[in-house]
Amino acid sequence: MRAAPPPADPALIAAQYEAALGTARLRELKESFAAASPETVVAILDEAVKLASDHLVALNDVGDAQGCKLVDGRVKTASGHREAWEAFAAGGWPTLDLPEEEGGQGLPAALAFSVQEVLDRACPAFGMIPVPTRSAARLIHAFANEEIRAEWMPRLASGEWVASICISEVEAGSDVMRMRTRAVPNEDGSWSISGEKQWISFGDHDLAPRIGHCILAKTATSDGLSLFLLPDTIDGIRQPIFVRRLEEKMGLHASPTCALGFEGARAWLIGQEGRGLQQMFVMITNMRLATGAQGLGIASGAADVALQYASERKQGGRGPVPVTIDTHADVQRMLLDMAARVETLRGLVITAANQVDLANHETDPETKADAAALLQWLLPIVKTSGGDVAFEVASSAIQVLGGAGYTREWPVEQNLRDARVLTIFEGTTGIQALDIVHRRVRRDGRGLACFLKAARADCTPGDALSQTLDLLEHAAATLIAQTDLAVVDGGATAFLRLAQLAASGWIAARLAVLAGDDPASRRLVVAGRNWLAGLAARATLAHAEARDGGSFTKDFAALRQI
């Protein structure tokens, strides 16, 4: 069995939780949020660490080596996966932030995502099933009729049943309106679904007796897409759902990615016909934040492996006895950079998650609307940053470990493989960039305004964060004024990168001034200061590319002449 990352540090995560914008306010708004006291947060995270140590560390190793198999048309998961899921369900983990009236504990979303970080640090592939199940529960809670809610919500909350999200099709990934899956009404009020879906995480498996597929399809009576709940079994009988294939993937081997065929399977409409895509945004919020948390889990584990290895590996030095490599300046530079990326991402995930709850529970309408707008601004930033930070930190960890990091003996090479998909699924980086530029800058600037107001409250004129916010504001104004959409689109990814730098710089500025002489506080202060040190230079480059990057696309035609 390969080396495992050190266990997550609950005190460090809890320190970020307490420091995040919105945490104190949420405790004032709702009794169940107040129940997440500092002591309770640490206790819950301690239990998550125990679950990860007892079940997920071993599953990560076995699952990466074994993968999943298609046997007689059904998916068989890796050894130990069922036991891990049963322990997860028995511990009540699926219920953390689900509504109390639906069988949940009603705890803050930020705590649920912090738990996800701990579990995904040990086995990110395992997290590919709780996330769609929690997301489906939100859809059903928000839009399903009372009968469907009564049947499904308690079982999803308990982990007895699970769910998948079926959106993508061949030639209709991000371009969802081109999908061809059709729904035809039946006389009993149900619908018959026929079509092909792909990229379905845990679209089939042997972990639970029933899977509810949340599926988008077209109907004859609406121009929009409609959302349906399609159970894989009815009265214990398997529906006409077929696993066409399992994808052979670079990473996340313990998570089966399925292509599914539906041949007249019965389903029930969720919400309004033709409004499925709009309703899906309830789910998309959770999925994109979960991607950030998953990247955080991978990155935090890789960073700690590198730090521990560097403290033990001896090489170099000027005397007769070699020194540990963490005494070398270049290694220290890499370790500090990794820590800064991890801590700013963690603060960003928790802050964004707090906005979810504030947008739902704030009492003042304007404050409530501001929280919703800030959340929409942060979503593409958190989602993209999760993937970027996970991959970059895993790559740096391999560099610190040297040749050892490139071997399967150490987990960081798997971290790199597992992390690569995070900037692809739930909307690629380019899609996130177009979203933030066209929807959050050119169409509605409230989210940007809310972000600038919050971030400027934590900076002083002329400091690194202030300079970065000025560049962000200038780049946004430039993109608003630009009439050539090709130039706007060409600079969108650079603008998203600038927005990421501004957001991470905001978190870094808050961390850099934390009080306290405990180890967690000292680490957070150092991480914040380190990230701020290079912030303005990075932001200047991103600003230039956001402003001018689109002009380079005029040269693309030359590639087609080769």
Q: How confident is the model at residue 170 (pLDDT cuts 50, 70, 90)?
A: confident
Select from 273, 305, 323 the last residue of a domain. 273
- pLDDT of 562 reads 60
Provide CB contacts within 8 A for 558, sequence distance 6+: none
Backbone angles phi, psi at 199, to 5 degrees: 60, 40
Select from 388, 423, 458 the last residue of a domain. 423
Catalytic residue among 343, 362, 392, 426: 426
Rounded Cα gap, residues 34 and 23, in angstroms: 9
Mean pLDDT of the chain: 94
Whether the pLDDT of residue 173 is over 70: the answer is no
Same domain, 123 and 198: no
- pLDDT of 281 reads 85
Residue 316 domain-assigned?
A: yes
263 against 174, higher pLDDT: 263
Same domain, 401 and 285: yes
Whether the pLDDT of residue 431 is over 80: the answer is yes
Structural contact between residues 423 and 330, judged by C-beta atoms closer than 8 angstroms:
no
Q: Which residues pair with 279 in a beta bridge?
A: none
Please compute the mean of the pLDDT values over residues 87-102 and round it to a whole number: 92
Same domain, 288 and 415: yes
Rounded Cα gap, residues 79 and 58, in angstroms: 10
Q: Which two tokens stand for residue 257?
A: 């990615």
Select from 397, 423, 449 the last residue of a domain. 423
Residue 560 domain-assigned?
A: no
Q: How confident is the model at residue 550 (pLDDT cuts 50, 70, 90)?
A: low
Residue 3 domain-assigned?
A: no
Same domain, 191 and 256: yes
Same domain, 367 and 489: no
- pLDDT of 263 reads 97
- pLDDT of 196 reads 96
Cβ-based neighbour number of residue 142 at 10 Å: 13
Q: What is the pLDDT of residues 310-353, one digit of tens each?
A: 999 999 888 888 999 999 999 999 999 999 999 999 999 999 99
Residue 522 domain-assigned?
A: yes
Same domain, 318 and 253: no
Whether the pLDDT of residue 26 is over 80: the answer is yes
Whether the pLDDT of residue 1 is over 80: the answer is no
Left (φ > 0), alpha (ψ -120 to 50) or beta: where does 197 sit?
Answer: beta
Residue 145 domain-assigned?
A: no
Expressed as residue numbers, the domain containing 239 is 161-273
Same domain, 255 and 298: no
Q: How confident is the model at residue 392 (pLDDT cuts 50, 70, 90)?
A: very high
pTM: 0.95
Same domain, 523 and 399: no
Whether the pLDDT of residue 16 is over 80: the answer is yes
Same domain, 538 and 440: yes
Please compute the mean of the pLDDT values over residues 525-544 and round it to a whole number: 96
CATH, residue 191:
2.40.110.20
To the nearest whole percent, how much of the chain has pLDDT over 90?
A: 87
CATH, residue 21:
1.20.140.10
Residue 147 domain-assigned?
A: no
Rounded Cα gap, residues 524 and 252, in angstroms: 30
Distance set, CA 306 to CA 317, 397, 402, 414 (Å): 19, 5, 10, 14
Same domain, 285 and 418: yes
Please compute the mean of the pLDDT values over residues 146-170 and round it to a whole number: 94
Rounded Cα gap, residues 143 and 434, in angstroms: 28
Same domain, 463 and 494: yes
Rounded Cα gap, residues 162 and 433, in angstroms: 32
Same domain, 311 and 224: no
Q: What is the pLDDT of residues 209-248, one digit of tens each?
A: 999 999 999 999 988 999 999 999 999 999 999 999 999 9
Q: How confident is the model at residue 282 (pLDDT cuts 50, 70, 90)?
A: confident
The answer to whether residue 426 is catalytic is yes
Backbone angles phi, psi at 26, to 5 degrees: -65, -35
Please compute the mean of the pLDDT values over residues 93-105 and round it to a whole number: 89
- pLDDT of 484 reads 87
Please compute the mean of the pLDDT values over residues 485-505 and round it to a whole number: 95
Please compute the mean of the pLDDT values over residues 107-120 and round it to a whole number: 97
Q: How many distinct structural domains can be found in the chain?
A: 3
Whether the pLDDT of residue 177 is over 80: the answer is no
Please compute the mean of the pLDDT values over residues 93-106 and round it to a whole number: 89
Rounded Cα gap, residues 485 and 344, in angstroms: 32
Reduced to 3 states (helix: H, G, I; strand: E, B; else coil), residue 246 is strand
Reduced to 3 states (helix: H, G, I; strand: E, B; else coil), residue 169 is strand
Q: What is the pLDDT of residues 188-201, one digit of tens each?
A: 999 999 999 999 99
